[in-house]
Amino acid sequence: MHIKIYFNKKPLFLTDSITPEIEPFAHHDDAVLIDEFSHGGINSMIHEMRQEKVHAGIYLHNNIEELKKAFWKKFILVKAGGGLVLNEAGEGLFIFRRGKWDLPKGKLDDGETMEECAVREIQEETGLEKVELKKHLVNTWHTYDESGHHILKETWWYLLTAPGNQKLTPQTIEQITKIEWAKPDQFEKYTSNTFPAIVDVLKAAGY
Task: State pLDDT tens for residues 53-84.
Answer: 999 999 999 999 999 999 999 999 999 999 99
**Percent share of the chain, pLDDT over 90:** 92
pLDDT band at 146 (very low <50, low <70, confident <90, very high): confident
Q: Tell me what pLDDT residue 29 has.
A: 86
Distance of CA 14 to the CA centre of its chain: 15
Decide the pairing of beta strands 56-60 and 2-7. unpaired
Q: Tell me what pLDDT residue 182 has.
A: 96
Q: Tell me what pLDDT residue 74 has.
A: 94
Task: State pLDDT tens for residues 81-137.
Answer: 999 999 999 999 999 999 999 999 999 999 999 999 999 999 999 999 999 999 999
Q: Report all structural domains of the chain as residue ranges with CATH numbers, in order of start.
A: 2-72 (no CATH), 77-204 (3.90.79.10)
Residue 159: CB partners within 8 Å, gap ≥ 6?
Answer: 83, 84, 86, 133, 134, 135, 136, 137, 205
Q: Tell me what pLDDT residue 84 has.
A: 98
Q: Tell me what pLDDT residue 148 has.
A: 84
* Coil/strand/helix, residue 86: strand
What CA–CA distance (Å, rounded) separates 117 from 122?
8
Q: Tell me what pLDDT residue 27 has.
A: 84
Indicate whether 28 pLDDT > 90: no
Predicted TM-score of the model (pTM):
0.93
Q: Tell me what pLDDT residue 133 has.
A: 97
The CA–CA distances, whole Å, from 169 to 22, 119, 125, 132 equal: 40, 15, 8, 18
